[in-house]
Amino acid sequence: MRIEERSVRRACKRAEERLLAHRRADGGWNEEMVWCPALTATAVLAHHACGRPLDERERAGALRYLDHWQLEDGSWGLHPASPGYLYATVLGYVAERLAGRPAEHPAAARAREWVLRRGGPPWAPTWAKAWLALVHLYDWDGLPALPPELFLLPSWLPIHPSRFYCHTRMIYLALSVLSALRFRMPEDDLVRTLREELYPQGWAAVRFAEHRATVAPGDLYVEPTGLLRAAYGALRLGERAAPAALRRRAVARLVEEIRYEQRQSGQAALSPVSGLLNAVALHAADPDGPGAAEALAGMRAWRWEDETEGLRLAGALSHAWDTSFAIQALCAAPGASRHVAVVRGAARALLSYRVTADPPERERHWRSPGRGGWCFTDGRHGWPVSDCAAEALEALRAAERLTGEPVPRVVRAEAVRFVLSRRDVSGGFASYEERRGSPALGRLNPSELFDDCMIDRAYVECTGSCVRALVGAMRDGDLDEAADAGDAVRRAVKYLRAEQQSDGMWRPAWGVYGTYAAFHALAALRAAGVTGNDPTVVAAVRWLVERQRDDGGWGEDWRSCLERRSVPAAEGSATQTAWALLALDAAGVPAEHGAVLRGIGWLLEHQRPDGAWPLGQPSGVFMNTSLLHYKLYPAVFPLWALGRAARGAGR
């Protein structure tokens, strides 16, 4: 098989044009990420709980979105490809009704019937029960104890919440306030009607306390451990014995933390998941104060809206992430010289996203250093991430080579310093924060729906990005942290070797699936000087080649994340095929290798006339079960892979 260089270049040109059409006004990129419908449903509930319902236009937009993602059986899934979940469906149904949809509407009726067939709200996961309690449709007695006094414990204790993964910590910070205050919005006619609809046996007949641990089998991913159940029992006893003065002090401390988070994030919060809860907690603590209104207004930062899908919230925004990959893809493309002005503008946008200061009084507020890093977003919320900083630095270096505009030394030095601050004891790199807690905290995972959500830890993908950035920065020279960076790279290489499975695959945490981990790991190993005939590289290449589909593409099913193994998909994926090709290129596999040629041929065959590739299955994942679409991925990674192919074909 032979691929003509001219065909690859034509495909690249079409892909470049498609990518350029998605630029933001500031010169960067930020494509929508498609998340769980329950997130938009909770926005409707939060506005009602705060006594500030969405206006008529917003309610219509939210209903249009819920209609778009409702499944034929009346349910909503946890992510774009999943079957129905009670978690998403009970929240979606309540949101529909609060948004003004009558109970007899066909969509609402189908959702309600689906919910009731699965036992109704008492069988929903804890997070759904908490949201229902806020709108007076569940009783706080039916939830596990969430005493705010835990946050008053000495921070050196291994179970202190400051040791939790930041997303989990922020969610339970707000939930603890709401639970302590037993907050619920006022009962009205709609609430009473919804109770009749959701509890046909009668509200008064429900024994909520018996359902603190009941979860529908289809929603349960992490079975509560015996240790967690024992902890719940102890917490409930302790909650009853806690003095009222201590309870008030604990609530005040947590409200202080919520206000701090809202100020530091420009009211956007770490994510809308915790931000919406923050808004309700601020309303519960001070109904007449401005905090809730400001927090709800800040949630607009996470909104997307159009005529097709309506109004919805994304769980994250990806300015820095998308812009970093877009720059690297354009710089690798054969037509890169045509895009000097575009890349220059994108690099300046990326620089504007940089975090330039540490959080004030960060030790008191359990925050890590942030100066010199990049957030996943445009930086407004102030939560930088190791691999976002690493990929941003790599993108700026690629832009420098193309445009001649050097990366300022202070930017490079502070980025390296930030990346090094996220080193893990294992030798790898964590994400938002350095690891603070023991893996044993995973036995206390209370989420039921999600896994790997209790501590920040080392990840193969974060480590891969960080190694590439550190090696590149050291090659640039004039770096005060060169010795420290060199040691970090050596330890990271050992970590990557240790994390490789016996079959040659690396297990990822943020993408679907082994192809994504291989893309990051192999690029890092080769950047660090590991040769193509090294056993680790050879095993990874063999794994990739063995999983190539008969049609030349690569495709792993989203269920791989749930099963923690590579599950073949029914069809190939443009994003995963690109990852595999980039991984093989990083490993030094020659352009004329059969697997490479067939993979390139697959991309050429599946490119659409508009230059893009089909979105396919979800390619991203969060906490093992929360799959999501990165809409920019099928535009940027195939271009990057074909650009490398064009370079190889021209040799």
| Residues designated as active site | 387
CA atoms of 550 and 529, how far apart (whole Å) = 33
AA letter at 226:
G
Dig out the tokens for 90 from the structure: 């009970």
Query: What span, in angstroms and rounded, lies between the C-alpha atoms of 371 and 368?
Result: 10
SS3 34: strand
Query: What is the spatial distance between Cα 646 and Cα 640, in angstroms, rounded to a whole number?
Result: 10
User: Is residue 319 within 8 Å of 28, Cβ to Cβ?
Assistant: yes
Tokens of 614: 């089909």
- Which 3 state secondary structure label does DSSP give 380? coil
CA distances from 51 to 272, 346, 601 (A): 18, 41, 57
CA distance 553 to 575: 10
Whether residue 575 contacts residue 633, with contact meaning beta carbons closer than 8 Å, is answered with yes
| DSSP symbol at 123 | G
- Pairing state of beta strands 384-385 and 620-622? unpaired
Amino acid at 112: R
Q: Is 400 exposed, middle or buried (0-12, 13-18, 19+ CB in 10 A)?
A: middle
DSSP string over 276-345: HHHHHHHHHH-TTSSHHHHHHHHGGGGEEEETTTEEEE-S---HHHHHHHHHHHHHHSTTGGGGHHHHHH
Give the CA angle between residues 577, 615, 505 to the nearest 5°: 35
Please give the biggest Cα pair distance in the chain. 77
Rg (CA), the chain: 25
Q: 103 is written with which tokens?
A: 């109970």
